[in-house]
Amino acid sequence: MFENFIYFIIAILVCTTYDPSKPPLFSTPLTLILTISLFLVFFAFSRYLFTRMARVSAESEAFHQSSRFSTMVTGQSVLAIFLFAVTIHGLNLPSLFSGMFLFKVLPTLEILIFIGIFTGYKGVIGVNAHTVYRQIYPDSASCRDYVFSSLSFGLPVLFPWALFSGIFDLLLILPTDFFRKWLSSTAGEMAYFLFFLVFIAILGPVLMLKCWRCHPLPDSHERRRIEAVSQKARVRYADILCWPVFGGHMITAGVMGLVKRFQYLLITPALLRILSPEEIDAVVAHEAGHIRHHHLVLYLFFLTGYMVGVWALSDLVMYLIMAARPLYQWMFSLGISRSTVMTTFTGLFLIASFLIYFRYVFGYFMRNFERQADGFVYTLFPTALPLVTAFRKIAMASGQPPDTPSWHHFSIRQRIDFLMRCETDSQTLDRHHRKIRIMMAVYAVFWVMIGITGYELQFGKSKGWLNEKMAEIIIREKSEEGEDKTAFYAFWGDLYFSRNEVEKAISAYEKALSDDPENAGVLNNLAWVLATSPEPALRDPGRALKLAEKAVHLDPSPHVMDTLAESFFVNGEMDRAIEVESMALKKATGNTDHYKAQLEKFRAAKKHLPASNRKPPI
């Protein structure tokens, strides 16, 4: 079940990391033919493997069948992701739709269409797998219900993302610039994400339950017993729902929702049918344990932690990818562009970090939270033996060996062993609670450090250092490729000056001039910095005047003449400053307020000068 969440998240990452600047590799007809061919080959390959498995499984034990079946489904799902990535990044399928106006203004819609292709791959697996599934579980759901249930587990991922991204697109195309400017800022992006995360966490369960076709559990002895256990646990649900996943044949239960008004208990018909009343009580107590220990809130906390980590380390990862160019230099010889390489490695980082985080960090806490919820049974009942027998029945009915590992649960055998230790040693559960508290504290400290690191990299002094390093790499690459690096030095000079980092700006402009001494734009900017620097030690009026005169000779534009006038001013030549600024004002178009203000400044300074040619203070 949880694996489907991950598959769809990776599919979204595959789409969102596509480089739109990539040109089509093939003609439109050939691209479509190759896309369809990949899909049909996968369908045939999947059908062959499951058909062969059906023949072999007929002679195998149920445990072995179930294990091989799960492995086969997982393997084909991974292959589907790979072929989907080939379709998007290898065949450049999105390039066929890049010119469509609707997709330009609503890119989320385009991605949803491509996610439909991946959904098709998953649907193929479901259709082909159903024959073997029915062989293992004779009373299981129909093929349609099986495929629908398999795909429906992607909805908790697709729906929030589509809503989040779709509203983001709509805000950007509004006629006002307010949302566009706000959402383009780091603070705006973070605020929007956090707001939407809370919104989805609160209201999302209601929408998901509709998609899963859940309905209230009818008034019955079972429902009243469940309500009594929940009341004893001091947990109140908005409703207790029947969860007809896989036609109601899957044996499971769960809770959804962070807010009591939208908090639901889900129970499948198979669980009610197979377990005894005491065992159902124990399962309900387990689910109440998730609520009482605030596990759902902590899951949201872990999701936010991942997003903070990606944001915090994004610039550093980009620098490391750029610095590792010698390792992938060979890719450029194949005609692969730099932007494609950067996008590909960034996407691989996102996918790899997601898998590692959720498999080893989130999965670690999920397993221990499940164990903690198992232990909550002792809060309501003197023994957990009914939960132990429930686990044994579930293992037998599911056809899975009790020691089958899981990344988000301990195996059934491990869970039983833990509860049996609790039966004989009351301190076992206390030690587990203490272990979770310690690990939560370690996690919190670690992510606070990551957050501080991210703030330093995004807003602190390290950001300037990191930008310089990345600029050096870009400039070095451009130089090696024989491209003009003047523009890059000039760009960083402008950036440093805008941040009032005058010394760094001067250094960047000097490097640009050493590469192109006749560049009027760089001459003008350096002259302005040397003439107007707020740091007296960095001013050089004499050199500023020489540079400005040379710049005007090359480009007599109004803004360049303005720099020359300023240079005359700081050198005490007021008449020349007024003369040149007047010429700049005459040539200027559009907003001339700056030139008028300059003239007023020069004339006011001239009035306060004595007749001698004394220069104004510098």
Print the SS3 string covering 544-603: HHHHHHHHHHHCCCHHHHHHHHHHHHHCCCHHHHHHHHHHHHHHCCCCCHHHHHHHHHHH
- 611: pLDDT strictly greater than 70: no
- 178: pLDDT strictly greater than 80: no
Comparing 12-16, 37-41, 49-53, 466-470, the range with the smallest average pLDDT is: 466-470
Residue 484: its pLDDT value, please? 61
Q: Is the separation of the CB atoms in 515 and 483 below 8 Å?
A: no
Residue 45: its pLDDT value, please? 96
pLDDT grade for 132, boundaries at 50, 70 and 90:
confident
Residue 614: its pLDDT value, please? 45
Q: Which CB contacts under 8 angstroms, 24+ apart, belong to 538-543?
A: 538/502, 538/503, 538/506, 539/570, 539/618, 541/567, 541/570, 541/571, 541/618, 542/571
pLDDT grade for 251, boundaries at 50, 70 and 90:
confident
Q: Is the separation of the CB atoms in 511 and 538 below 8 Å?
A: no
Residue 616: its pLDDT value, please? 43
pLDDT grade for 217, boundaries at 50, 70 and 90:
very high
| Strand, coil or helix: 331 | helix
CB atoms under 10 Å from CB of 608, counted, come to 7
Residue 120: its pLDDT value, please? 95
- 463: pLDDT strictly greater than 80: no
More confident: 461 or 229 = 229
- 262: pLDDT strictly greater than 50: yes
Comparing 45-54, 189-198, 235-244, 523-532, the range with the smallest average pLDDT is: 189-198
Q: How far is the C-alpha of 301 from the C-alpha of 443, rounded, in Å?
A: 11
**Residue pLDDT, tens place only, 63-101:** 567 778 888 998 999 999 999 999 998 888 888 887 788
**Residue pLDDT, tens place only, 554-572:** 999 999 999 999 999 999 8
Residue 609: its pLDDT value, please? 66
pLDDT grade for 60, boundaries at 50, 70 and 90:
low
Q: Report, as an integer, the average pLDDT of 156-183.
A: 81
Comparing 15-29, 262-276, 425-439, 531-545, the range with the smallest average pLDDT is: 15-29
280: burial class by Cβ within 10 Å (0-12, 13-18, 19+)?
buried
Q: Report, as an integer, the average pLDDT of 182-195.
A: 71
Residue 257: its pLDDT value, please? 87
More confident: 121 or 501 = 121
Give me the residues paired with residue 8 across strands. Answer: none
**DSSP string across 73-142:** HHHHHHHHHHHHHIIIIIS-GGGGGTT-HHHHH-HHHHHHHHHHHHHHHHHHHHHHHHHHHHHHSTT---
Residue 261: its pLDDT value, please? 86
Q: Which domains does the chain show, CATH number per domain?
A: 1-153 (no CATH), 513-607 (1.25.40.10)
More confident: 192 or 32 = 32
- 285: pLDDT strictly greater than 90: yes
The first and second tokens of residue 63, run together, are 């445990």
- 479: pLDDT strictly greater than 80: no
Instruction: Give the list of residues 6+ apart from residue 465 with CB closer than 8 angstroms, or none.
Output: none
| Share above pLDDT 70 across residues of the chain, in percent, rounded to a whole number | 91
**Residue pLDDT, tens place only, 220-242:** 999 999 999 999 999 999 999 99
Residue 480: its pLDDT value, please? 58
What average pLDDT does the structure give for the chain? 85
Give the β-pairing of 215-216 and 253-256: unpaired
- 57: pLDDT strictly greater than 70: no
**Cα torsion 310, 312, 314, 318: sign:** negative
Report CA dihedral (157, 161, 162, 168) to the nearest 10 degrees: 170
Residue 61: its pLDDT value, please? 56
pTM: 0.72
pLDDT grade for 617, boundaries at 50, 70 and 90:
very low
